Amino acid sequence: MHRRTALSVSAALLLAAPLLSACSGEARPGTAAVIGGERITTSAVQAQVNDVRSAQNRSEHSAELIASVPQLDRVKLSAMLQSRILDRMAEDAGLTVTTKELETERQAYDQNNGGAEAFEAAVLQKAAMAPDQIERWVRDQVLFTKLNAKYGEGKLAEPASKAAGKLGIQVNPRYGAWDPQRVTLGEAETPWITQVTRPEQPPAGA
């Protein structure tokens, strides 16, 4: 069985959070995090939160979906950070992803989950991803699979930590705290990357 994975929405909380400080020593307004010298703005995080909440509200299970992710802003920021860490890990490992690979992966997910609509509903429920966020989610899955193939199943902790260290991640305490040892944001009971779906191996030529 071919295993496709998702980034965990859980994370670990440190007592001493790194600050996003200007020269004055105060947190820089409008910044959720800094990674690789680039800002992730609070408005960018909120836009992703709004997209997910809108998608959840369109579901017949809206109340259950919303209640299952109470700290959605933290979840979305964590996913954004982890996507960029995966990009850096792939760069360090000399790995790339083609458009064809992304198309094939998406087709396999759609087929193995009963169609595109059913797949989008599953990702909304399990990974808090709105339909317009799935393209990035699928890319993360392809990268994660390739990285596992290079380093070995369950052996990504060290390269993830190294990549995160190079990126120099700082997080606004409003969203929790970044744990550089576990490569996680916020409160957690599980490791950085957690499996959430295991579709069957797609047929040849998919």
30-49 pLDDT, tens digit per residue, is 999 999 999 999 999 999 99
Predicted TM-score of the model (pTM): 0.78
**Half-sphere exposure (Cβ direction) of 30: Cα atoms closer than 13 Å:** 4
Tokens 């909380």: give the residue. Answer: 13
Is residue 15 in some structural domain?
yes
Looking at residue 123, its pLDDT comes to 95
Is residue 181 in some structural domain?
yes
Is residue 43 in some structural domain?
yes
Instruction: Please list, residue by residue across 72-88, b when 16 or more beta carbons sit within 10 angstroms of its beta carbon and e when fewer do.
Output: bbbbbbbbbbbbbbbbb
pLDDT in tens, 78-105: 999 999 999 999 999 999 999 999 999 9
Is residue 204 in some structural domain?
no
- Return phi, psi of residue 27, to 5°: -60, 140
Question: Is pLDDT of 204 > 70?
Answer: no
pLDDT in tens, 121-130: 999 999 999 9
Q: In the predicted model, what is the mean pLDDT of residues 174-196?
A: 68
Mean pLDDT for the chain overall: 81
Q: CA 104, CA 123: separation in Å to the nearest integer?
A: 17
Is residue 184 in some structural domain?
yes
Q: CA 53, CA 142: separation in Å to the nearest integer?
A: 26
Least confident of 28-37, 131-140, 196-205: 196-205
Is residue 131 in some structural domain?
yes
> Residue 49 sits in which domain range?
6-194
- Return phi, psi of residue 150, to 5°: -80, -45
Least confident of 60-64, 73-77, 198-202: 198-202
Is residue 174 in some structural domain?
yes
Looking at residue 28, its pLDDT comes to 64
Confidence of residue 1 (pLDDT cuts 50, 70, 90): very low
Structure tokens at 47: 């836009």
194: left (phi over 0), alpha (psi -120 to 50) or beta: beta
Looking at residue 62, its pLDDT comes to 96
| Count of structural domains, the chain | 1
In sequence order, what are the beta bridge partners of 6?
Answer: 194
Question: Is pLDDT of 15 > 70?
Answer: no
Is residue 199 in some structural domain?
no
Where are any strands of DSSP class E within the chain?
Answer: 6-7, 31-35, 38-41, 170-171, 178-179, 184-185, 193-194
